[in-house]
């Protein structure tokens, strides 16, 4: 773990408080907590405001002050099964409780250090008006990759150009305005409200444009062209200060307890032999997809570490049946856990590849450990990340036809056994080196972090 270098302005920062407001989703809480730790190590006092839904275990962070707000979700609404709907509801419900919380915190100013700014997850677009009302600068943190943020920003354009209603025969075509994305990669997130994603994205874009700066968990050596473009598009200074996990691990903010048996099992496997399979915290498989994954694993001769989190397949009774038969068939070659200590797993010498859904945190964690990827994206930014992993960065292979056995088996062979896979492995290892350099003192991410601190101190 790298130290967070340089504390030259520590004195100035004493007496400055920052409010951070994460969205209540696993892939968003982790990086916001990491960002909070990074800024705390730089001398800022940290206040975290969070919703009751997916609330954060405060006992793990005695160095932060927490405020919990009512989110107004009814029992049946408190679920991540429709993220677009959830976030639109929360943006409506939280206006009043968050406004009251902010007013209380700001009125503390007589006795406590001043609050310099509000750092929001970009999903919280409603905060813009409160920032204006309380004259509090807002920095927006986009938890996705920069290339994904750009693709989301272009959704309304893609809709206008008719790209969202392309026939199946044209889905493999490249998008002229956004190479190398293909029509099938457009990151529409399905919701029970058909226009929900457009409302969410245009609100995020407006609030990004009004923000005093944009923060990304990424690094310049990976996303330089996209960073330049988004700075122009949003007309805000951008700070690519990642990968955050080089400063602080994400695992303490895990909403589920990681099963350490994964590491004990890995300790018994040969170097670079194991494929780690995990589709993150929000993806759901249908039973046919689950059978396809199980059958790829059962038919292989390789060892697999497989995360089958509760709820991965909605009909759990049938899944249990599938897994019982499956486990007998594969004996000790496959280890299944509910939830893995993912960063530790990826850092383990036995890991040879990561079969992933291409969530941004998982992608970054894999690059940080130099592990090449087999990408099976499902929706949203996973489509963009996996396209860039395959076509631009060339540090993994994307399965193009969905969860279909034959193609996945072939992709695994290419990655694990062939010359192409060797080159991919070398490339991801060279990005690992670049990450080490950019998070060292004087590296690009450290410079951006200093830029961010200077920006905060200028408020
Ligand atoms: N994760 C984990 N254990 C698991 C599966 C996932 O700790 O068994 C963590 C993973 O390390 C990552 C996060 O959950 O930090 C998933 O975030 P990502 O952006 O990859 O995907 P999402 O869950 O948001 O789809």
Query: Which domains, from first to last, does the chain contain?
Result: 10-247+442-457 (3.40.50.2000), 261-435 (3.40.50.2000)
Among protein residues, the one with the nearest Cα to ligand 1's atom 14 is 280
pLDDT the model gives residue 317: 58
pLDDT the model gives residue 210: 95
Residue 6 binned pLDDT confidence (cut-offs 50, 70, 90): very low
In this predicted model, what pLDDT tens digit does every residue of 19-47 receive, in sequence order?
Answer: 999 999 988 998 999 999 999 999 999 99
Res. 7: pLDDT tops 60: no
In this predicted model, what pLDDT tens digit does every residue of 91-117 receive, in sequence order?
Answer: 999 999 999 999 999 987 666 778 999
Q: Which of 359, 366, 375 to mutate to test the pocket of ligand 1 (most atoms within 8 A of CB)?
A: 359
Among protein residues, the one with the nearest Cα to ligand 1's atom 15 is 361
In this predicted model, what pLDDT tens digit does every residue of 129-176 receive, in sequence order?
Answer: 999 999 999 999 999 999 999 999 999 999 999 999 999 999 999 999
Residue 315, CB half-sphere, CA atoms under 13 Å: how many? Answer: 9
pLDDT the model gives residue 39: 97
pLDDT the model gives residue 325: 77
pLDDT the model gives residue 5: 46
Q: How far is the CA of 11 from the centre of ligand 1 (A)?
A: 36
Question: Which protein residues touch ligand 1 with a CB less than 6 Å away?
Answer: 26-27, 30, 250-251, 254, 258, 278, 280-282, 307, 339-340, 342-343, 359-362, 365
Residue 252 binned pLDDT confidence (cut-offs 50, 70, 90): low
125 vs 316, more confident? 125
Res. 321: pLDDT tops 80: no
Among protein residues, the one with the nearest Cα to ligand 1's atom 13 is 27
pLDDT the model gives residue 281: 87
Q: Which of 255, 362, 367, 381 to mutate to test the pocket of ligand 1 (most atoms within 8 A of CB)?
A: 362
In this predicted model, what pLDDT tens digit does every residue of 200-231 receive, in sequence order?
Answer: 999 999 999 999 999 999 999 999 999 999 99
């Amino acid at each position: 773990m790298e130290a967070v270098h340089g504390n030259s302005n520590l004195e100035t920062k004493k007496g400055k408080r920052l409010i951070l407001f994460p969205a209540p989703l696993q892939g968003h809480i982790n990086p916001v907590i990491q960002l909070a730790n990074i800024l705390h190590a730089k001398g800022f006092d940290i206040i975290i405001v969070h919703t009751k839904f997916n609330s954060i275990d405060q006992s793990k962070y005695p160095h932060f002050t927490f405020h919990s707000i009512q989110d107004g979700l009814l029992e049946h609404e408190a679920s991540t099964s429709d993220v677009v709907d959830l976030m639109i509801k929360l943006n409506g419900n939280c206006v009043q409780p968050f406004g009251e919380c902010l007013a209380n915190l700001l009125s503390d100013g007589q006795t406590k250090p001043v609050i310099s700014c509000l750092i929001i997850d970009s999903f919280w677009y409603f905060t813009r008006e409160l920032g204006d009302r309380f004259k509090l600068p807002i920095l927006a943190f986009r938890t996705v990759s920069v290339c994904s943020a750009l693709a989301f920003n272009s959704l309304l354009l893609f809709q206008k150009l008719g790209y969202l209603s392309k026939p199946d025969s044209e889905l493999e075509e490249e998008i002229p305005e956004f190479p190398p994305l293909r029509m099938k990669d457009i990151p529409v997130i399905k919701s029970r409200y058909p226009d929900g994603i457009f409302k969410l994205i245009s609100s995020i874009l407006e609030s990004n444009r009004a923000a005093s700066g944009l923060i990304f968990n990424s690094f310049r050596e990976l996303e330089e062209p996209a960073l330049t473009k988004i700075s122009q598009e949003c007309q805000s200074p951008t700070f690519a200060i990642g990968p955050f996990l080089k400063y602080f691990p994400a695992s303490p903010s895990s909403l589920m307890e990681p099963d350490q048996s994964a590491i004990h099992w890995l300790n018994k496997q040969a170097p670079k032999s194991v494929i780690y399979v995990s589709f993150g915290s929000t993806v759901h498989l249908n039973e046919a997809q689950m059978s396809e994954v199980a059958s790829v694993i059962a038919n292989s001769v390789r060892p697999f570490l497989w995360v089958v989190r509760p709820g991965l397949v909605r009909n759990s009774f049938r899944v249990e049946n599938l897994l019982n038969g499956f486990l007998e068939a594969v004996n000790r070659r496959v280890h299944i856990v509910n939830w893995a200590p993912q960063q530790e797993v990826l850092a383990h010498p036995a890991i040879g590849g990561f079969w992933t859904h291409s969530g941004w945190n998982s992608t970054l964690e894999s690059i940080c450990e130099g592990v090449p990827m087999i990408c099976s994206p499902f929706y949203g930014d996973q489509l963009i990340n996996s396209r860039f992993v395959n076509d631009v960065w060339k540090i993994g292979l994307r399965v193009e036809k969905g969860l279909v056995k034959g193609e996945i088996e072939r992709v695994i062979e290419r990655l694990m056994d062939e010359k192409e896979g060797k080159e991919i492995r070398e490339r991801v290892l060279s990005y690992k080196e670049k990450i080490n350099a950019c998070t060292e003192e004087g590296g690009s991410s450290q410079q951006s972090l200093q830029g961010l601190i200077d920006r905060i101190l200028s408020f």
